[in-house]
Structure 1
Amino acid sequence: MDAGRRALPVLLQLALAGLASAYFTGTDNSLYTLDGLGLPFVLPGRYPSSRSHARNVAKFYGHPVLPRTAWMTDDRYRKVAVCRPRQLSLCDDVLPYNSTLLPNLVGDRDRVSLDRTLLFFALMLKTECNPRLKQLLCALLEPPCRGGRTLLPCRKFCKVATENCQKLIPATLALSRVFDCRRYPDSDSPGVCLNLARSASCMRQEHQCPDLTCIPKQWRCDGVRDCPLAADEANCTGA
């Protein structure tokens, strides 16, 4: 791992602060694109005052997140919108459905808020910590809509998608709470939650469970049951 990659956790936090400032303040702004992602962000023409910078960074870090605990689990909160077509072209290659809704699972209630969250998520994708992370981020931004209700990610899918990424997520950010996989259903039923790690074929660095869920190869024979019937712990040698 090169020095640049090792520095990513610190750079990620610094970049978040800079992007927060850029989003909320600045004059003579210029429009840029996050390389390779096609996501616009604004860099200020001049650095804001320390007071306004602190206020705006705090506003960014205080972005609404899930859960305002009840609305994730209580139907009264989750049935607050109607299904609508997805809009993020970034997610076209990873989401197998076309219908979503706002508010999403991050708490965004309009496109302005959604674009703000994209700044944070785009930085995470640039780390390339996990090839399945994009699936999870897109499922949070544009969750599947079933009759006006959101379908949450499955806990196992969340764990698979965030493997090797947790160390890059600043623990102090409120928005980072969406990556706490314990908040999602511990279920394998497609009617209960979304598992995009279930696929007919897995990636090179993955092991396939009997239910077709792909898990990281390092989870095989590690003493932890990850596949149904502990299939990932079968036929292990030297354990």
Structure 2
Amino acid sequence: MRMTQSGAVWLWLLLPVAAWAEDVPEVPPVEEERRLLLDEAWSNLLRVEATTLSFLPRAGRGADEGFLQVEPTLVLDGGAEFGLNLGTSVRLRLWGSGGDAGFVRREDWDSLSDWGQLVRGLKLGSNDAPVGVWFGALESYSLLSAHLVRRYSNRSNPDYHPAGGFITGTLGPLYTQAFASDVLGARLMGAEVALDVQHVLFGQPREPGRYSLALSAVHDWGRAGGRASPVTLAHVDGTSVVVVRPGFEAHLIAGWGGRPGEGGAWG
């Protein structure tokens, strides 16, 4: 009798466990589904900011002006392949410049190039894509090797607000980049083409760009902030990266640069 009761208790403990295991369906975790949905969705931001701004006379020139600066912003984030940032500062006059001054600051919108300020940034293509495009403000921009254009900004003038742009492309051992400081006006434009010599001689390298030949050219129309003589510069060089360490690199560079047709110099 004692053994029969023990067997009954043992079966009673096992049967509910087996039945429970059969009734539970296998479904993905809720957290995993939410994460996948968030990865696929785009994100956006709509914002309006307001502040005050004043311009003071400097060295006896200029006028005392005050503005209410309203700054609407629209951001669309499509991941690594697409990004758009629209918005600009609209300056509404509070005081200064006499009665003939308009309600909106005239210097911010007195040329076609100034309409480029509506585009803060437009990105097409990721950093790993064979072709990438950027339009908007150029802040501390350098053209590839930076021999001709280094840390350039196209919006340092408070009365000039252009939209610049650059395009990058990769095809086998060739890498190129072209830029324009103002896509709505003839200002500064240039391009550089680099050839990966190691890739040509030995195939795809583990560290691209260690041994390269490059040709770059830049033309300035001399129309920014007044009139000046147009200038064209060209540069050709070879680069060898001889030492690569965390936080340290050593380069050997030899090249020629100058104004085509007017001489140049080796370095």
TM-score range, shorter chain: under 0.3
Using structure 2 for the length normalisation, give the TM-score: 0.22
Tell me which of the two structures has the higher relative contact order, counting C-alpha pairs closer than 8 angstroms and 6 or more residues apart: 1
Q: Highest Rg: 1 or 2?
A: 2
Normalized per residue, the structure richer in strand is 2
TM-score normalised over the length of structure 1: 0.24
